Amino acid sequence: MKRSEARFSRAQVWVHATFAGLVLLAIASAAFLWIDPLAQVFGRRAFITQVHTVVGLLLPVPLALGVISPAFRRDAARLNRMSSQDWEWIRAKDRRSGRIPVSRFNAGQKLNAAFTVGAVLVLFGTGLVMGSVLASWPTDYRTGATWVHDWTAFGLTIAVVGHIYFALKYRTGDASAPASEPDKSRVSN
């Protein structure tokens, strides 16, 4: 990959955009179901529930389509592996100084990616149980699924907020280059 090229392939940008859009829609619709003042402003509970369900069912689609792209698969493999240097990097106070070499993705990005996929997997599964989508589930399981769904959604929302924060903060940087040599790539996080 040359410096002048975009950091991510078109397929990857497309997967990221649709997945991000769906996640934000899921969070927004959930907020209108969850936060009383919002529910009081907008109401329409049956409609919002439907939106949230459909968005949730669509969530895995961009990820599944992404697997077709070799670039997506390659980056997924990179995100999967944490080297000893990654662990050192994430513990270091001066992790942004460039002292510890970072490969294409830094350790925070790797952990965030895995957490996001894990959370979406859990939300998808518990969502199916809550709505008794594929099979009818006993109430205790549905209550348990609701509990897991709520807490996981909390965690994912925090992760998404953090992800956007870091993306904006390091917008001009590039994790694939040493910190002293920022390049022109458009997406950093």
**Footprint of another protein (CB under 8 A):** 1, 34-36, 39-40, 42-46, 79-86, 101, 103-104, 110-111, 113-115, 117-119, 121-122, 125-126, 129, 136, 138-141, 143-148, 150-152, 154, 176-177
Minimal distance, residue 45 CB to another protein, in Å: 5
Which among 56, 61, 29, 27 is positioned nearest to 126, based on CA atoms?
56
Nearer to another protein, 35 or 161 (CB): 35
Minimal distance, residue 18 CB to another protein, in Å: 20
Minimal distance, residue 22 CB to another protein, in Å: 18
Nearer to another protein, 128 or 168 (CB): 128
Are the C-beta atoms of residues 142 and 129 closer than 8 Å to each other? yes
Distance between CA 97 and CA 88 in Å, rounded? 13
Distance between CA 151 and CA 42 in Å, rounded? 24
Tokens representing residue 170 in the block: 């390091």
Minimal distance, residue 27 CB to another protein, in Å: 14
Tokens representing residue 62 in the block: 């961009």
Are the C-beta atoms of residues 162 and 189 closer than 8 Å to each other? no
Nearer to another protein, 70 or 101 (CB): 101
Tokens representing residue 154 in the block: 């909390």
